[in-house]
Amino acid sequence: MTDSLSPAELLRYSRHVMIPGIGSEGQLRLKQSSVLLIGTGGLGSPAALYLAAAGIGRIGLVDPDIVDRSNLQRQILHGESWIGKSKLDSARHRLAEINPHILLETHPTRFTPENAMEIAADYDVILDGCDNFPTRFLTNDTAFFLKKPLVYGAIHRFEGQLGLFAPHLGGPCYRCLLPEMPDPGAVPSCAEAGVLGVLPGIIGSLQAMETIKLLLDIGNLPLGKLTIYDALRTSFRTIGLRRDPSCRLCGENPSIHSVSNPETTTTHSCSSDSMDSITTSELRTILAGSFQGILIDVREPDEYEISRIECSRLIPLNTLPEHLTSLPRDREILVHCKAGGRSARAVQFLLENGFTQVKNVSGGIDAWLAEEP
Ligand SMILES: [Zn+2]
């Protein structure tokens, strides 16, 4: 029965029910709500535990991974006896033990552009607990197209971030904060930068709190704000985030029209640093010689208009898939953007599509202009 609370539920949730502003009405609202968690790792673990205990009626979990011993230092959903087994089986077992009154839906798969819209369509809120950029961009884009609020959390060593992205309610999307996927070498996401286990516990719990506020429509929602927790300084600071009118997703002239785009389709791999790249001064030498290949600029048209490298061809990153058949496979392709981030994605995308002579211009046009005599 989802239209009432049983005596056992009223007792279980009594410490919620006695809070003015929540009451049995608010608790019933939580029972009638649904949340999708992308990932049951460091952030997803505490978030899932608290959301289940709080009585969110339907919780969806997406995770393809199995439990590894090195997870247990922070991924507190899982325990010793689940090592080598599915994280979702482990999560289901633990969450059902905490609260048998809720419905758990498990999606034991990677969250991909092919399945994202379908999986997420049926939930009220999406909680981002993933650990890599392609999935994070995908989660953002999916939430945007489905007009679902996205409760964002991220961690790095001693610092955590919390935000709420919901352009349909006002405020920016994740791409307004991070317009470009970071250069593969720039962020040590694969190379285990390390994290103090309590940190995702704190940020994941904050995500659960914001989710509940959102569902109950209480308090102030952190739209247009990013909260940064610094564990070493014992400080929280909140910075304003504006919606970027030139955002490729939620801006005035968007160029991203589906969840399948270069940021979300890129394979998350640690081998990206083996990508061939050249410096801008090497590019100068190449272009001064008898260069037979092509130089692609993957920025947006308005950026291209302001400054460009002579002889470059404009193919905005998002339109690259449409140009696969017209690009030469027997000649060298050099790719640049503003600073090297978008072009690295482009190079990776071309390599994945069978191009072999592709190189990234590191530093992009920023480095090129800075060197200009
Ligand atoms: Zn945006």
Do 228 and 338 lie in one domain? The reply is: no
Task: Indicate the residue among 231, 263, 295 that finishes a domain.
Answer: 263
**87 domain-assigned:** yes
If one counts every other C-beta atom within 10 angstroms of the C-beta of residue 122, the result is 12
Q: Which of 130, 176, 247, 337 is catalytic?
A: 337
- 176's CB contacts (< 8 A; 6+ apart) are 241, 242, 243, 244, 247, 250, 251
Taking the centre of ligand 1 as the mean of its atom positions, its distance from the CA of residue 241, in whole angstroms, is: 10
The answer on 350 and 304 residing in a single domain is: yes
Confidence at residue 184, expressed as pLDDT on a 0 to 100 scale: 57
CA neighbor of 322 nearest in space, from 305, 293, 292, 346: 346
Do 212 and 190 lie in one domain? The reply is: yes
Q: Is residue 159 part of a domain?
A: yes
**Mean pLDDT over all residues of the chain?**
91
311 part of the active site:
no
Catalytic residue at 173? no
Token digits of residue 86:
């599915």
174 lies in the same domain as 287: no
Please identify which of the residues 190, 250, 270, 311 carries the catalytic annotation. Answer: 190
CA distance 336 to 365: 7
**Could you tell me if 296 and 173 lie in one domain?**
no
* Model pTM score: 0.74
Shared domain for 211 and 336, answered yes or no, is no
Q: Please report whether residue 246 resides in a domain.
A: yes
Residue 131: inside a domain:
yes
- The tally of domains found in the chain comes to 2
User: Is the residue at 27 inside a domain?
Assistant: no
Are residue 53 and residue 105 in the same domain, yes or no?
A: yes
Residue 9 is assigned to a structural domain of this protein: no
Tell how far the Cα of 242 is from the centroid of ligand 1, in angstroms: 9
| Residues spanned by the domain of 361 | 275-371
pLDDT tens-place values along the chain, 373 residues long: 678 999 999 999 999 999 998 999 999 999 999 999 999 999 999 999 999 999 999 999 999 999 999 999 999 999 999 999 999 999 999 999 999 999 999 999 999 999 999 999 999 999 999 988 999 999 999 999 999 999 999 998 899 999 999 999 999 999 999 988 876 555 554 335 688 999 999 999 999 999 999 999 999 999 999 999 999 999 999 999 999 999 999 999 999 999 999 899 876 443 344 568 888 888 998 998 888 999 999 998 988 998 999 899 999 998 998 898 899 988 999 999 988 878 888 888 888 888 888 999 988 898 888 887 6
> Ligand 1: distance of its center to the CA of 172 in Å?
5
Indicate which CATH number applies to the domain containing 204.
3.40.50.720
Q: Domain boundary residue among 230, 263, 296?
A: 263
Taking each continuous run of H as one helix and of E as one strand, the counts in the chain are: 14, 13
Same domain for 160 and 309, yes or no, is no
Q: Which of 144, 142, 40, 134 is nearest to 93 (CA)?
A: 40
Distance 180 CA to ligand 1 centre (A): 11
Q: What is the CATH number of the domain that holds 318?
A: 3.40.250.10
Backbone angles phi, psi at 148, to 5 degrees: -115, 145
Chosen domain end from 228, 263, 298:
263
190: in domain: yes
Domain check: are 77 and 217 in the same one? yes
Locus of tokens 């953007």: 337
The pLDDT of residue 49 is: 98
- The verdict on 199 and 252 lying in the same domain is yes
CA of 301 to the centre of ligand 1 (A): 18
182 and 306, same domain (yes or no): no
The two beta strands, 103-107 and 58-62, are parallel
247/289 same-domain check: no
- Chain centroid, CA 234 distance in Å: 26
Q: Is residue 334 part of a domain?
A: yes
